[in-house]
Amino acid sequence: MEHYKYLILGAGPSGLACAHTLCLLGEESFLVLEKESEAGGLCRSAEVDGKPLDIGGGHFLDLKRKEVLELLFRFMGREEWQEHRRVSKIRIRGVEIDHPLEGNLWQLPIADQMDFLESIAKAGCLRGEPQPEAFADWITWKLGECIAREYMLPYNRKIWSMDPNKLGTYWLYKLPDVSFRETLQSCLERRMFGALPAHGTFLYPKQHGYGEVWRRMGEALGERLHLGEALHSIDPEQRVVNGRYQADTIINSIPWSAWTRAGPMPDDVRAAVGRLVQVPIDVDYCPDTLPSDSHWTYDPDESKSFHRVLLRANFCPGSRGYWTETNAARSPEVPAGGFRHRNEFAYPVNTLDKPAAVAIVRAWAQAHGIYPLGRWGHWEHMNSDVAVSLAIAAGRELAGVGG
Ligand SMILES: Cc1cc2nc3c(=O)[nH]c(=O)nc-3n(C[C@H](O)[C@H](O)[C@H](O)COP(=O)(O)OP(=O)(O)OC[C@H]3O[C@@H](n4cnc5c(N)ncnc54)[C@H](O)[C@@H]3O)c2cc1C
């Protein structure tokens, strides 16, 4: 039996950032287990048609978090990244306009602007109506009927491939308020209003895909990272993994469903894990170069299977083509010779009872010296910069470093 102070499950951004934080703090007794043959998780890239393609979907690094940039630049210096000003679009009523929709309605023909303005003016939240419980009603109440019916509801049906009313509304605080007054002013003055969305500016590697920085972080761990070693058995009481590694603390960044197959768990915890839902996403490559300056485009049209198009040629120098992101339940056959990567665990879904299920799992984990981390430990949507920031904080907390 090998003994470690920390055993980290998963070498995605969370596991890697936590491991390197421990390392930087002088901690040597840890091991990372990763089931794939390469580190990086959803942020990995592969070479497709001669250039990098992000197999977990389009990935861009937000510049907001200083501690994250400091850590990542140790492995891929600032000079290896290109800063981009975000250009993202939405296809609506047969045309492409800038994202966010509510801030750029002025780009539509006048008659269409009038439809959207009228429906925003009638939105329940602006008329003091009580906040509804169900997701679809909530969206309509918040954004008005047109934005709900033509964008938010079809887009959510596509990405989740489920009845939107099975989703909770507890995560929608992120949606910006839509002001009738500001929307009208923006249409009259023909300019965008509102704050820049996330990734207003972002970094993308000049020569590589987004996966390169994580690959290097994995490589730098040397023998402390075991690639190609999935969790297959666990004794949560003794914290013994795969019959071979015993740890004081297990740091878990892999989906909890892998645990239910690997070892014992109380019935209520097993049932709570069973209620956690995730969405698989297919990334499909097409070599055609689209005539748009967009980095990516959202498409709510339900007659198309994909929900987002990533225009690789606009952020990956010297490349051509684009890739699409599609909920696997909606995916068409892959064309002969085509490239597809399926991500079984792509999006954790914010179902109605997710917070209660996560609370049960976390309480059990904490009582057993198991530390939940990252997208799957918390079953929470988070961008990689947030995942890294939380993992740095976790590493510091575990190593007993304050601040
Ligand atoms: C379509 C899409 C687009 C995104 N766009 C962006 C973006 O533009 N910018 C951004 O910053 N973030 C983006 N994200 C979010 C980003 O992917 C996540 O924040 C990040 O990957 C979370 O890291 P993680 O380590 O927590 O999880 P993951 O990356 O999922 O890593 C988990 C790791 O655990 C491993 N694992 C799983 N099961 C086992 C097992 N049984 N045994 C051992 N190992 C196992 C996996 O192989 C994986 O390496 C996007 C996500 C998606 C799905």
Both 83 and 109 in a single domain?
no
Per-residue pLDDT of 64-98, as tens digits, reads: 999 999 999 999 999 999 999 999 999 999 999 99
Both 232 and 83 in a single domain?
yes
Report the distance separating Cα 369 and Cα 365, nearest Å. Answer: 7
pLDDT of residue 56: 98
* Residue 251 falls inside a structural domain: yes
Report the distance separating Cα 246 and Cα 241, nearest Å. Answer: 6
Around ligand 1, the residues with Cβ closer than 6 Å are 9-15, 33-36, 41-43, 56-61, 230-231, 253-255, 258, 281, 325, 345-347, 374-376, 382-385, 387
* Residue 367 falls inside a structural domain: yes
* Residue 232 falls inside a structural domain: yes
| Number of separate domains in the chain | 2
Both 273 and 374 in a single domain?
yes
Both 278 and 392 in a single domain?
yes
* Helices 267-274 & 354-367 angle (0-180, nearest 10): 140
Write the DSSP assignment of 123-164 as a string of letters.
-TTTTTPPPPSSHHHHHHHHH-HHHIIIIIHHHHHHHH-S-G
3-state secondary structure of 252: strand
pLDDT of residue 196: 64
Distance, CA of 4 to chain centre: 30
Both 183 and 222 in a single domain?
no
Residue type, 207: Q
Both 34 and 171 in a single domain?
no
Using only C-alpha atoms, what is the Rg of the chain? 22
Both 174 and 225 in a single domain?
no
Q: What are the pLDDT tens digits along the chain (403 aa)?
A: 999 999 999 999 999 999 999 999 999 999 999 999 999 999 999 999 999 999 999 999 999 999 999 999 999 999 999 999 999 999 999 999 999 998 999 999 999 999 999 999 999 998 899 999 899 999 999 999 999 999 999 999 999 999 999 999 988 877 777 889 999 999 999 999 876 667 789 999 999 999 999 999 999 999 999 999 999 999 999 999 999 999 999 999 999 999 999 999 999 999 999 999 999 999 999 999 899 999 999 999 999 999 999 999 999 999 999 999 999 999 999 988 899 999 999 999 999 999 999 999 999 999 999 999 999 999 999 999 999 999 999 999 999 987 5
pLDDT of residue 197: 67
Boundaries of domain holding 166: 100-189
pLDDT of residue 200: 86
* Residue 195 falls inside a structural domain: no
pTM: 0.96
* Helices 110-121 & 180-189 angle (0-180, nearest 10): 170
Q: How far is the CA of 346 from the centre of ligand 1 (A)?
A: 7
* Residue 403 falls inside a structural domain: no
pLDDT of residue 175: 78
Q: Please name the residue whose Cα sits nearest to atom 4 of ligand 1.
A: 59
pLDDT of residue 335: 82
Which atom of ligand 1 is the closest one to the Cα of 343? Answer: 53
Q: How far is the CA of 43 from the centre of ligand 1 (A)?
A: 6
**Of 116, 117, 131, nearest to 181 (Cα)?**
117
Report the distance separating Cα 12 and Cα 32, nearest Å. Answer: 10
Q: Please name the residue whose Cα sits nearest to atom 40 of ligand 1.
A: 230
Both 337 and 363 in a single domain?
yes
Both 181 and 309 in a single domain?
no
